[in-house]
Every structure is written in C-alpha cells, then in structure tokens.
A and B are shown apart, each in its own frame.
Chain A
C-alpha cells in the first residue's frame, strides 16, 4: 500500500471561499458544475458514426465516467443533441423539430464529416451540414471519428456547460443566434 498514485486529476472545483466544513461560491458556478457533469444526451444516430458512438457508450470507453450514461430518447428530457451520421434533406425538418422540442439549456454536438458538412455525399438528396438548419456548439471531425474523439467532444461541451451563465437563453447573443435560424 505504499505506492500512491500521483497522476490523478481531482475534480474541477470552481473558485470560491473554503473553510472548515463549508464552501461558498456563486450560484452560476454551482449550476454550471451540476449541468456539465450530468448531461443527458439524445443520440440522433443515422449511420456509421452511430456505431462509433455505441462503442463510446460501451464498457471500454465508458461515457458514464463523464456523467452521461443516461441516454434520453425523448428530446424533452435531453440536454445534449448528438447528431451522428448523414442527414438527408428529407430528415432535416425532423432533426429541426427534435431540436426545437428540447428544453433549455441545450447543446448540439455534431459528429463526423457527414453531419458537419455533408461529407462525401455531395449530392442532391443530402443536407450539406446540419448547421444549415440548427446551431451547432461542437463539431467532431473524422469519418468516422474514434470514440476518443467523441469523449473529447463531450468534454468540450462540458466546458461550455460549465462556463455559460445560468439563464443563457435570455442573453441577446443567444437570441440573435436562434433568430438566424428562424427558431422562436
């Protein structure tokens, strides 16, 4: 028992005042901490990127380590929309409806070349990137990206969730962004 692991990263702790048996910080930071570490993803998986995501959810890569083991197949209970795979133009309105049904705060993670830009499917039937219909927070490049990249993408989303203000939806920037897409 003499060997002590020294390469452990302790959990992120926001700035605050600490004393014997108490810790004081701002509400925004506490809420951010809670949100970031309990994201409920909605997997919108349409093709091979979805298979990589299944590996990410599996025991080997284990997305549960980051507090996202609870997949939500109802958009109303999800915080994070993960779009994985080719989105055809016919699927576009459905994706947009799923996004609109999600409650604030919500984030969008766009996995793989097809979802990000249409990828190799430069053709009449395929949407050339989901950012034509909904705002995207994080893009994961690759075809298909490896599970490590998906984990990295989730960590990027967590950083956003941590640092954003508690009532993001009321900020003028956010309203402007949504207005660009004609949402609300």
Chain B
C-alpha cells in the first residue's frame, strides 16, 4: 500500500504543487486532505490518470466538527475505489461555516448527483454547478439542516418528555 500512496502523492504534487495539505493512514485506509479550491482537479486526476484509475466513487459525505478551528469546521469526505487493483482511498476537504461553496463533481461521476443532494439536505453545502440542488430525503418544507450540530436531534414538537427524565 505504501508504494501506492507514494505514487498518488507524487502524481498530485507533480500536477498541483500545493494542493495536498496533509496525509495520514487511518488504520489501513490512506486519507488525503486537499485544498478545497483544488479538490475537483485532484479528483479528476485520480479518476482519469491511467495508472491511478480511481474510476468508482464509493461515497461522499459531509461532516461538521464544531470543535475544529473556525476555518475547518465543515468538511466533505470522498471515498474512491480502483476496482481492478482494489485500491481504496479517501480525499477530504475542510471549510469554514461562512463559505460552504463546493465545486460539484456530478460531471465526473453521475452518482454524485444524489450524494451531493443528500449533503445539501443535511448540512447545507452549496455544490456549485449541481444540476438540481434540492432536498432529497427530508421533507421539502424543512427550514434547517438537521445534522448540523447546533440543532437538537430530537423533535421539538414532543410534549410528553421532560428534560429531567429523558436527558434531553
């Protein structure tokens, strides 16, 4: 796996000098943190490069860590898979709450369409260039982004539970 990681790092750094911010191994899973502005270029490289060939987007998901530094409170994780060689990596980006614009990758992977809609639905990321950025799982009338940590998980219309008994 180490050689693979080195190849990936080299390829990214060759093309986009300062795009790669950091790297770590999460158990046996390589994780690359890249600049938000460069993420589309990096993902495009990972997908289209003949040697890397990460042709499959397994998933992407949003994160909210309110304890992080202000400029990296929100994040998105992309998980890629090279099926012929069975390489799997993660690419992460971080951003402040004040700027949740993220370039869409629907033109790289069609499957990102619904995934990005879901992350918009739950966190409010603005995927710039997405063809139809509307809610997908929650009801259309919902007026907040429920998985952000500033909102309570519980339903506030419930009257029969008091905080003392139910730890709310």
Which residues of A come within 8 Å of B, CB atoms? 89-90, 92, 117-118, 122-126, 128, 132
Contact between B138 and A125, CB atoms less than 8 A apart? yes
Contact between B138 and A128, CB atoms less than 8 A apart? no
Contact between A122 and B154, CB atoms less than 8 A apart? yes
Binary flags per residue of B139-162, CB closer than 8 Å to A gives 1, else 0: 100100010000101110110110
Most chain B CB neighbours (cut-off 10 Å) among A117, A123, A124:
A124
Distance in angstroms from A184 CB to nearest chain B CB is 22
Contact between A122 and B155, CB atoms less than 8 A apart? yes
CA distance A31 to B116 in the complex (A): 56
> What are the 4 tightest A-B residue pairs by CB atom distance, in nearest-first order?
A90-B139, A124-B146, A122-B154, A128-B158
CA distance A128 to B161 in the complex (A): 12
Contact between B160 and A125, CB atoms less than 8 A apart? no
Contact between A118 and B146, CB atoms less than 8 A apart? no
Distance in angstroms from A177 CB to nearest chain B CB is 20
Residues of B within 8 A of A92 (CB): 139
Q: Which of A117, A123, A128 contacts B153 (CB 8 A)?
A: A123
- Say whether, besides A124-B146, A124-B151, A132 and B157 are in contact (CB < 8 Å): yes
Contact between A128 and B139, CB atoms less than 8 A apart? no
Q: Which of chain A's residues has its CB closest to B140's CB?
A: A90
Binary flags per residue of B22-66, CB closer than 8 Å to A gives 1, else 0: 000000000000000000000000000000000000000000000
Q: Which of chain B's residues has its CB closest to A122's CB?
A: B154
Contact between A118 and B158, CB atoms less than 8 A apart? yes
Q: Which of chain A's residues has its CB closest to B157's CB?
A: A128
| Complex A-B: 28 CB contacts under 8 Å | A89-B138, A89-B139, A89-B142, A90-B138, A90-B139, A118-B155, A118-B158, A122-B154, A122-B155, A122-B158, A122-B161, A122-B166, A123-B153, A123-B154, A123-B155, A124-B138, A124-B142, A124-B146, A124-B153, A124-B154, A124-B155, A125-B137, A125-B146, A126-B155, A128-B155, A128-B157, A128-B158, A132-B157
Q: Which of chain A's residues has its CB closest to B160's CB?
A: A117
